Amino acid sequence: MPAKATGPAPDPAVVDRAADGVGWIAHPEETVERASHALATPDGVWLVDPLDAAGVETLVESLGEVAGVVVLSNHHARDANAFARRHDVPVALPKPMTGVADGLSAPVERVAVGDALGGYELLAVAQTGAIWQEYALYDGTTLVVSESVGGADYQRVGDERPGVMLLRRPTPPRDGLGGLAPERIRCGHGPSVDEDAAAALEEALANARRRLPRALAAHGRKQAGTVLAALRS
């Protein structure tokens, strides 16, 4: 199983589907389980951290016209440029985000933390200089997270749904995500959480540090592989 797959994605996995959105993992065989989402909003469809794959355009078209593409992590440029060019829409980037715009040929629009995209508020999750810049979207019902919290196997221990990734367990994103009460969570890595999402998020954040030794034993090698894969891309 590769840490991060490359090349065409002929057989993506749909990880959530509802009237207001759809999510897919382009390469289900990879360790990092990169997930992408299309959110149907009153302003049109927003594509979040999208990776291209066979049949994705059909999924997106079923929701309506694409209004834009949004990147929530400086490590999630993925295929944002290709989707934006294809649909002739801009790529929305958080105002503080660096290191992404220079790699885009599509138009870029900057969004301030606290501003809305189609009814979703942009939240700051974590920022460590140029190394880690992470944001989320929240409309009071659906939380879209990008990196720190996710449903991928390497992010979870025990019965967590979702979990906090190993590198963030010493300092889990309680300031950015604590106190939120979503009904569902759309993750940038791994499957979504559609049941008891608020309780699952609270539990993951509250126990992240305590479960660090267990997570290190279970996923330390996998996490090292995912970091190396990210640095190479």
From the CA atom positions of the chain, what is the Rg in Å?
Answer: 16
CA separation (Å) from 135 to 58, 75, 77, 104, 113? 27, 11, 13, 19, 9
Separation CA 8–CA 70 (nearest Å): 22
- Cβ atoms within 10 Å, residue 124: 16
178 pLDDT band, cuts 50/70/90, is very high
Region 119-148: mean pLDDT is 95
**Bigger pLDDT: 30 vs 220:** 30
228 pLDDT band, cuts 50/70/90, is low
Contact in structure between 149 and 163 (CB atoms under 8 Å): yes
Q: Average pLDDT of the chain? A: 94
CATH number of 13-232: 3.60.15.10
Separation CA 125–CA 179 (nearest Å): 13
Looking at the predicted structure, is the pLDDT value of residue 229 above 70?
no
In DSSP terms, 24 is beta-bridged to 14, 36
Q: % helix / strand / coil in the chain, to the nearest 5?
A: 25, 30, 45
The predicted pLDDT at position 233 comes to: 46
Looking at the predicted structure, is the pLDDT value of residue 224 above 90?
no
CA separation (Å) from 5 to 30, 110, 233? 6, 30, 11
Query: What three-state secondary structure class fits 198?
Result: helix
3 pLDDT band, cuts 50/70/90, is confident
pLDDT tens, residue by residue, 38-89: 999 999 999 999 999 999 999 999 999 999 999 999 999 999 999 999 999 9
pLDDT tens, residue by residue, 100-110: 999 999 999 99
pTM for this model (two decimals): 0.94
